[in-house]
Amino acid sequence: MKISGATALYAVIGDPIAHSLSPVIHNQWLKDAGIDALYAALRLQGNDPESLIRALPQIGLSGCNVTIPHKEAALRAANVKDPIALRIGAANTLRFSNNSIEAFNTDAAGFSLALDAATPHWRHGGGKACILGAGGSARAVIAALDAAGFNEINVANRTLARIAPLAECAAKAKITAFAWDDRTKAASGAKLIINATSLGLNDKDPLDAPAEDAAPNAIAFDLVYKPIHTHFLRSAETKGLQAVDGLGMLVHQAAAAFEIWFGKRPDADAGRMAALAQLTGAQT
């Protein structure tokens, strides 16, 4: 890849961010498409993330993806907001152009497409789902579950007050709040259990899947993708659940963001292969 003064700059912002596979995925697609652009990972720290995000176009970025914990701040920082991002209340993709910050959310679509690929039956009959966590990613998952026909969504979180606002992300589904210590109860009878927290990014904070009383043939989905087979997924498998890793969601939401920026849909399989190669190299 040749880099010049004309090379466009894109990035993923978050904290932590060193684990991100977004750069290897996007740079593979940029290379395949012959686009003169570079994608990097930037750790964004500070007490005023909105101001920092508004400054990104001034330092030369043309767009960025946004991850934990800045998705809600990214939406507030934007002056043009896609209806899906507004409904979810969080943005994971920003486009900078003509002194404007445009906000989008591709997480909901990425979540659904990942499950479509791994477990095509997941939508059948709706029913109950359980989400662990109540941040920006959880908001996107609720919107996707609601659109897929799930009528009950239980959410367990350390801070109960963060759960009530999630109801605005669902048009029909009933959202019920559970204390973090009651997460096994929240998952009782659930067809789908989703880890939407950052627990599992390292071995110091493993998360067991609260799946003892899950529905038969239930699915466990971990939004954490590094390591690819998390403690959450391993524990779910020991309890008889089908495990779906978070890499599919990462790739599919990234493909939608790439299309927003460049007007063309990249090859999702090529992106996943690049990410898996990076993961394999990091773990050997």
Which residues fall within 8 angstroms of residue 141, CB to CB, at 6 or more apart? Answer: 107, 108, 111, 131, 194, 196, 223
Specify the residue for token string 């591709």: 106
Give the C-alpha separation, 21 to 148, whole Å.
Answer: 28
Beta bridge partners of 10: 39, 63
Burial of 155 (0-12, 13-18, 19+ CB in 10 A): buried
Kindly give the interhelix angle for 268-283 and 247-262, rounded to the nearest 10 degrees. Answer: 130
φ, ψ at 280 (rounded to 5°): -60, -40
- DSSP for 179-213, written as a single string: EGGGHHHHTTT-SEEEE-SSTTSSTTS------TT
Q: Taking a C-beta distance cutoff of 8 angstroms, is the pair 163, 139 a contact? A: no
CB 65 within 8 A of CB 255: no
71 is catalytic: yes
Structure tokens at 56: 């990104």
Peptide bond into 216 cis (omega under 30): no
Select which of 71, 128, 191, 226 is catalytic. Answer: 71
Q: Which residue has the tokens 């959880």?
A: 138
Which amino acid is located at 194 in the chain?
I
Q: Any idea which residues carry the catalytic annotation?
A: 71
